[in-house]
Amino acid sequence: MKLATALFLSLLLATPTSAWQKSKSQEDAGQGKGKHPTPVDVDRGSAKDLETPRRAGTDRSRGRDQRPEPAKLEPLSLDGVRPLTKIGRVLLAGQPGPAAMEALIQGGVDRVIDLRTEGEDRGFDEPARVEALGAKYASLPFGGPVPLTDAIIDDVRKALRRYRSEGKGKLLIHCASSNRVGGVWLAARVLDEGVPWEVALEQAKSAGLRSQKYIDYVRLYVLGGGNHELGEWIEKIRKEYPDVKGISVREFARIWKPGKKSDASKLPLLIDVRKPAEFEVSHIRGAKNAPSPEAIKGLLRDVPKDREIVVYCSIGVRSAKMAKELASMGYRNVRNLEGSVFEWANTGHPVFRGDKRVHEVHPFDEEWGRMLRRDLWADAAKK
């Protein structure tokens, strides 16, 4: 009974707030009666309070954003789980004990994602306990010898998107100390909610993130638009071509609005430097294909040296080389699209074959194609 009493007295209630709203709530001390632990109240706001913009206009690679800072995480106090923080309908936590898990589920948690590995001792049969209490249990294990992967982050992001869009139920994500939780939540915060990297990183640390290994992995995953290997290549290209200016896919998407003749002169000249066979499968709308220095010279014969130019290829290697070549020819305003058409398509931006929108991209080959979503591979390349 001492445990139950401690739960009653230590429980703090907090009003859910949107990721972009300042908190207007004050913490209340929660008390309860009876033999069961007091439920954690995580549903005192309306569904409207939970709305957050998706894929907001943030240049994540440079951390620039014009919106107000997002609200800080709201801590909850509950015996049997440390730390425990909340934003909207999502709770981020260390390992809950059995009584704390009951309180959380009675308070509205209907799905639990456990990031701990099979060999870690939870102190009780968590899957059986969660399901007996009427919630769903999912295991996405990593930690120690089990590495963090893109697939784990992808699955967590899907769950978070569902809870944001449905406006009902609560999601609990936990590991042993919330270190791993902070890592995967960090990626979702930046890519799906448009929170600047520096702000999201500090929030993730407040939620429990401590591991530099996870921070480094997520940073490259974010840089690659949800693909760690692509992020690694973007970083390699930056180091190999330090004088080539880059533009992120997110930033380019904000300025690239082709289709209106009156605006054509205000847009950059977009050049696809891939081979014609790749270009013919699909390309970014409005791009000109120029796969060689000779083709580039012909295309730019009457183009002023100060014209804004953006070049791209599959991931940015060939286009970085071409951007360097253009600079040697005297063009002063050339940028390389980082992540190029792979990241563009991976993150849901449209590609075209002629005037028709299609949903496939040439993967170049099996090795490089690992950085392109498999469902976007051109049909001929899938065979």
Say yes or no: 266 and 201 in one domain: no
* pLDDT value at 87 more than 70: yes
Say yes or no: 196 and 270 in one domain: no
pLDDT of 45 = 27
pLDDT of 57 = 38
Residue 232 located in a structural domain: no
Residues 239, 221: Cα–Cα separation, whole Å: 18
24 compared with 73, residue with greater pLDDT:
73
* pLDDT value at 31 more than 80: no
The CATH number that applies at residue 324 is 3.40.250.10
Residue 28 located in a structural domain: yes
Residues 272, 288: Cα–Cα separation, whole Å: 6
Residues 220, 234: Cα–Cα separation, whole Å: 9
pLDDT of 258 = 84
* pLDDT value at 68 more than 70: no
Residue-wise DSSP of 57-86:
S-BTTTTB--SPPPPPPEE--BTTBSSEEE
Say yes or no: 113 and 144 in one domain: yes
Residue 10 located in a structural domain: yes
Domain boundary among 175, 190, 223: 223
Q: For the chain, give the mean pLDDT.
A: 83
* pLDDT value at 32 more than 60: no
Does residue 175 have an active-site annotation?
A: no
Domain boundary among 223, 251, 280: 223
Domain that holds residue 329: 242-382
Residue 233 located in a structural domain: no
* pLDDT value at 108 more than 90: yes
Which residues are 245's β-sheet partners?
A: 335
pLDDT band, residue 112 (cuts 50/70/90): very high
Amino acid at 74: E
Residue 249 located in a structural domain: yes
Say yes or no: 219 and 351 in one domain: no
Catalytic residue among 135, 181, 204, 313: 313
30 compared with 74, residue with greater pLDDT:
74
Domains: count for the chain:
2
Among 228, 141, 204, 172, residue whose Cα is nearest residue 40: 172
* pLDDT value at 207 more than 90: yes
* pLDDT value at 128 more than 50: yes
57 compared with 174, residue with greater pLDDT:
174
Residue 136 located in a structural domain: yes
Say yes or no: 167 and 292 in one domain: no
Phi-psi region of 181 (alpha: psi -120 to 50; beta: other; left: phi over 0): alpha
Amino acid at 126: E
Say yes or no: 184 and 249 in one domain: no
pLDDT of 52 = 31
**pLDDT tens digits, 283-311:** 999 999 999 989 999 999 999 999 999 99
**pLDDT tens digits, 312-321:** 999 999 999 9
pLDDT of 265 = 72
pTM passes above 0.85: no
Say yes or no: 67 and 141 in one domain: yes
The CATH number that applies at residue 164 is 3.90.190.10
Are the C-beta atoms of residues 215 and 228 closer than 8 Å to each other?
Answer: no
* pLDDT value at 333 more than 60: yes
293 compared with 342, residue with greater pLDDT:
342
Domain boundary among 166, 192, 223: 223
